[in-house]
Chains A and B, each alone.
Chain A
């Protein structure tokens, strides 16, 4: 078999390493090809971006909550983006919203989440020495890094970063006359995202290849942990949808720089009629959302995988409906490609299309519902240990329910007429995607920190972090439903111009205060994280009594992950609290022949096959 050949090959490499210890700081920690180091690079970069993106939202929340207050004190930071009257510049407000969305969706919740955990967990959980191509993996990170640098630079240029919303709809994003952020800022945005797409594709190809080819002996697809399944589907979605965004961006670059008219038609702006004819802004929206909708699942699916693992481990129960979970992930993967136009119900596209997309959109709610019910059943009659990771996973389920249900409002085109582009949408996706995926990421960090850094994070700080975040996030996003039902539009600098939007002044202030507290609470996590890397209690090899393979590695797994042979896998990853068993968990590498007291009738037959598996 291919995989054993590769594994043996790497085995030799590992032995060589053990003898020679070559490599210096640069090859070990910077241009490393080790999946664990690359995962940490993604994580640290993701955390950096989360602070920037979160900080931006604090500034625009101040503006929304306290429109009368002076922003003069921010001048040292923002310079001329504070007007002479001490107010935030309205264009800069839009730039902040745009950058916040871009950073959070792409850099934090795609790269920071998928990049970290796919890289970290795939080889460790399937039993491989490393990714299929360590070099491509390294390139993937460095493309992301360069993409980050370009985006970061764009924040500081004089005309400001891109400001047309994270969805960068043309013509606004195509015409520097329309908004100053559509000048150099937009160019940098496009360059950065193009690099980002290359990074995602390099990563995705690697994840898929690794999962298909490098599974250890006995690790059939039906024994893969749900984390791996979710990373597998996520990478597949990414491979199929990101190239479309690249295409859309390329055409936009042509329209911006080479006078083409893909998206532009009959435009009169800044006292001048442009020559472009025959283009369609709607075309861009179709292309964008063909990526954009799958992208939201790219963000949430790894979080699902992570929580499935954590909830099962800490309920001391098998995940309920393992097969159903995989099928619903598959269903979501397929359906996520055929619902994109629900973002465009009132864009002026043919209403008949609206009907079709409403139907398809509401179908996608079914696999989502199945997942929720399966989580609930997993908790039922469990023996639940509230580690910080478990708390955040339960929080994720709660957010996913709250935000998923509002999907049924906005997925219904007739109802969406009123709700589209109001704060109701902001509430919907911040709960179902933003907060849920963020909780998944945090849960993953708490859970796998002991393996990543060989030390434990502090539990008590974890609890405080959870409760402040959980309550805080609900206090921030739940009120937005009311504000949205009342019709308040998104991306408004202030609401004072309209009688209809003159209410909810105090609620907006409340939301802003809650946001500040929630943001501040994240520094507890940051402290806990960095402090524990150096000073945390030393971690045991398997602190959560978990079944998956990564916990069979040494405390600080080296290059190649297992010092000796890679363990063979005999059973699925969810044998928790099996009747008859001594402990309440049986790791995947324990053969059935060693557990006669707990084997189920159909598992007895497996014992005969074990010899064959070991020889394979």
Chain B
């Protein structure tokens, strides 16, 4: 019933509009307004361009200033400060060009609107002008490129030797992280060894795997370089940690990496944002299927001491899943027992 009345309503409105349109074309034919340049509304359109220019610039500045805190996420990594600086330099340069060109576009449209008594200027070319606006953009772009290369090469340089190495793996539809444990070496893996429990496909012929641990959250030490070793096990994913200005695809069959230095602990960030519930997060930014929008990983940045403490409390994966001892070669079983004992199990 409602549907029917809406349909009738729409029909009546359309009919009225059609009628108005018909009358209007008839009136036009009589007034011959279509014969005039710009259909008799040339001034109107010119005027509207100015209204649009002023109105939209007003809206733009008002919104950009008022909501700055909403779109400018606080920066929590060392390289993020430099990439953001480059972002804002680019913003200033392009912002100025944006204002100049848009103002000229709409102002010229307004100023040089049609006038029966005037002729346009016959001005087909001018090599000096062309040269000017080839060279000036070239110079400005050179500055952006040089600075960009400088920042990019620094961000992408190999990680320092002392970096904390942590593995992060994406799969449909979550992230898993793995720490190397006390030996500070991640055990090798083989995708054919993956099963419902052994999500990483840990290879237990490699002794480095015995003390690896797999926590629920990603913990990071503040002020220390961290290298994420990134992989995916089914389709493409992409590690995105917005506050750290960090993004790198996770590719099945091809390990990738990203290193950075977190600069603010979770606690500090809570204070800075005034949000006691604040948490760092990792999201996925490469479409990976149904649950793409829900691949959230909680990230905690600790003070270095807290981080060490937290690490020492973690139990190796093997000790939590003792049935996988069966996969350990006979001669390494004892080593595996020792390495997979955590502090907490030793205490007992």
A contact residues vs B (CB 8 Å cutoff): 90-91, 94, 164-165, 169, 171-172, 175, 178-179, 264-269, 271, 273, 277-282, 315-324, 346-348, 351, 354-355, 358-359, 362-363, 365-366, 369-370, 372-377, 379-387, 391, 394, 397-398, 401-402, 405-406, 408-409, 412-415, 417-418, 420-422, 456, 458-461, 463, 467, 470-471, 474, 478, 482-483, 485-487, 489-495, 497-501, 503-504, 537, 574, 576-579, 584
Contact = CB atoms under 8 A, between A and B. Distances in A.
A577 B172 contact: no
A175 B285 CA distance: 19
B129 A282 contact: no
Contact of A362 (B141, B242, B247): B141
B49 to A, nearest CB: 8
B312 interface: no
Interface stretch (B287-295, B327-335, B337-345): B287-295
Interface in B247-297: 247-249, 251-254, 256, 277-279, 281, 283-294, 296
Contact of B121 (A164, A273, A317, A369): A317
B119 A495 contact: no
Nearest to B64: A482
B124 A577 contact: no
Contact of A171 (B98, B102, B113, B252): B252
A376 B123 CA distance: 12
B7 interface: no
A320 B133 CA distance: 13
B253 A346 contact: no
B120 interface: yes
17 contacts: A94-B292, A273-B194, A317-B121, A318-B124, A321-B126, A348-B230, A358-B152, A381-B121, A384-B114, A394-B49, A398-B102, A418-B83, A482-B71, A485-B71, A490-B285, A494-B293, A500-B73
A414 B172 CA distance: 28
A489 B137 CA distance: 31
Contacts of B48: 467
A282 B254 contact: yes
Interface of B: 21, 24-25, 28-29, 34, 37-39, 41-42, 44-46, 48-49, 52, 56, 60, 63-64, 67, 70-73, 80, 82-84, 86-87, 90-91, 93-94, 97-98, 101-102, 104-106, 108-109, 112-115, 118-126, 129-130, 133-134, 137-138, 141, 144-145, 148-149, 151-153, 155-156, 171-172, 191-192, 194, 196, 201, 230, 233-236, 238, 240, 242-243, 245-249, 251-254, 256, 277-279, 281, 283-294, 296
A153 B309 CA distance: 59
Interface secondary structure of B, over-half rule? helix
A383 B101 contact: no
Nearest to B275: A499
A571 to B, nearest CB: 12
A332 to B, nearest CB: 13
A470 B52 contact: yes
B22 to A, nearest CB: 9
Q: Which of A316, A495, A579, A584 has the most CB of B within 10 A?
A: A316
A196 B279 CA distance: 48
A72 to B, nearest CB: 13
A579 B123 CA distance: 10
Contacts of A413: 148, 152
Nearest to A580: B122
Given A94-B287, A320-B123, A460-B39, A391 B45 contact: yes
Contact of A266 (B191, B290, B291): B191
A487 B108 contact: no
B302 to A, nearest CB: 19
Given A414-B86, A460-B41, A347 B73 contact: no
Contacts of B148: 358, 362, 412-415
Given A386-B42, A474-B56, A405 B98 contact: yes
Nearest to A459: B39
A147 B294 CA distance: 35
B52 to A, nearest CB: 7
B286 A267 contact: no
B232 to A, nearest CB: 9
B247 A482 contact: no
B141 A321 contact: no
A417 to B, nearest CB: 5
Contacts of A574: 124
A415 B256 contact: no
Contacts of B141: 362-363, 365-366, 408
Given A169-B286, A264-B253, A408-B144, A471 B52 contact: yes
B41 to A, nearest CB: 6
Please provide the 6 A-B residue pairs with the shortest distance between their CB atoms, ordered closest to farther. Answer: A265-B253, A459-B39, A351-B156, A487-B242, A348-B256, A381-B121
B85 to A, nearest CB: 10
B125 A178 contact: no
Contacts of B71: 482-483, 485-486
Given A365-B141, A385-B37, 17 more contacts: A90-B293, A94-B287, A172-B289, A267-B191, A281-B253, A281-B254, A318-B124, A351-B152, A355-B152, A373-B129, A386-B41, A401-B101, A417-B83, A420-B247, A497-B293, A498-B283, A500-B242
A383 B281 CA distance: 56
B254 A265 contact: yes
B90 A415 contact: yes
Contacts of B123: 317-318, 320, 377, 380-381
A210 B64 CA distance: 50
A346 B21 CA distance: 54
Most buried by B among A178, A323, A574: A178
B47 to A, nearest CB: 11
Nearest to B156: A351
Most buried by B among A91, A374, A382, A495: A382
Contacts of B292: 94, 491-493
A413 B187 CA distance: 33
A398 B242 CA distance: 31
A376 B289 contact: no
B256 to A, nearest CB: 4
B45 A386 contact: yes
B55 to A, nearest CB: 9
Contacts of B281: 498-500
Contacts of A370: 130, 133-134, 137
A287 B102 CA distance: 36
Contacts of A179: 289-290
Most buried by A among B39, B192, B245: B39
B248 A500 contact: no
Given A324-B125, A365-B141, A493 B293 contact: yes
B122 A347 contact: no
Nearest to B63: A482
B112 A384 contact: yes
Contacts of B44: 463
B316 to A, nearest CB: 22
Question: Of residues B87, B293, B296, which shows the largest number of chain A Cβ atoms within 10 Å of its Cβ?
Answer: B293
